Amino acid sequence: MISFLKGFDGYLVRDGYSGYHVVTGVKHCGCMTHVRRYFVNALPKDKSAQETSVAAEAVRYFERIYHEENQLSGMTAEERYEQRLAKVKPLLDAFFAWLETLHVSGKSALAKAVAYALNEKPYLYTFLENGNVPIDNNRAENAIRPFAVGRKNWMHSNTANGAKASAALYSIVATAQANGLNTEKYLTELFSHPAGTILLPFTI
């Protein structure tokens, strides 16, 4: 991971995996979706008790946060930055003010959710610094989902070089899709050029 991100000094949007903390020289951004997911998983199994549960109240905070964030999708980065401070930050402040009043302990799903959220608190505010930074890493997760779902099909990649080749190919495909290109046509065009030719998706 360190070698892959070497030289990168921007915003790193990630979940709470502790391994990311070894990456220096970047601004770490927490993923709001991952925090919300912990509370969703902490909802009581008894559906009749869900609505009034602590976990449900946490989820409602995130619903309000995402409602405001979704209203900003058509704005410029500067406008989004200003509106986030005016509308999203107060909701995030309210969530953590409420969260810090809770008294939970043990190894329950709720306790894990609260601990995860509090551990990620400093990083969950970073996206407010820049209107170009997303509130979560959903886009990246959606891009790798086809590869993750089909991981058992890639058992033939039983060497480091095979895994690297697969990773490179999927990176190319995901980048083409992110730029709205027809992946098959892009790959056909790319492989029709001599080896070493630079043909970036966003330049086509």
Out of 146-160, 168-182, 190-204, least confident range:
146-160
pLDDT band at 155 (very low <50, low <70, confident <90, very high): low
What is the pLDDT, as a whole number, of residue 6?
81
| Residue, of 1 and 89, whose pLDDT is higher | 89
Q: What percent helix, strand, coil does the chain show, rounded to 5?
A: 60, 5, 35
Residue type for position 32: M
**pLDDT number for residue 36:** 97
- What confidence score (pLDDT) does residue 170 get? 82
Alpha helices in the chain (DSSP H): 32-41, 47-50, 54-70, 77-83, 89-99, 109-124, 138-149, 160-178, 183-191
pLDDT tens digits, one per residue of 118-136:
999 999 999 999 999 999 9
Residue 52 has pLDDT above 80, yes or no: yes
Task: Note the pLDDT of residue 139.
Answer: 85
Range 44-54 average pLDDT = 92
Q: What sign does the CA torsion over 143, 144, 146, 147 have?
A: positive
Is residue 29 scored above 90 in pLDDT? Answer: yes
What is the number of other CB atoms lying within 10 angstroms of the CB of residue 149? 9
Average pLDDT of the chain to the nearest whole number: 89
* CB distance 58 to 39 below 8 Å: yes
Whole-number percent of the chain with pLDDT over 70: 93
Residue 153: the pLDDT is: 67
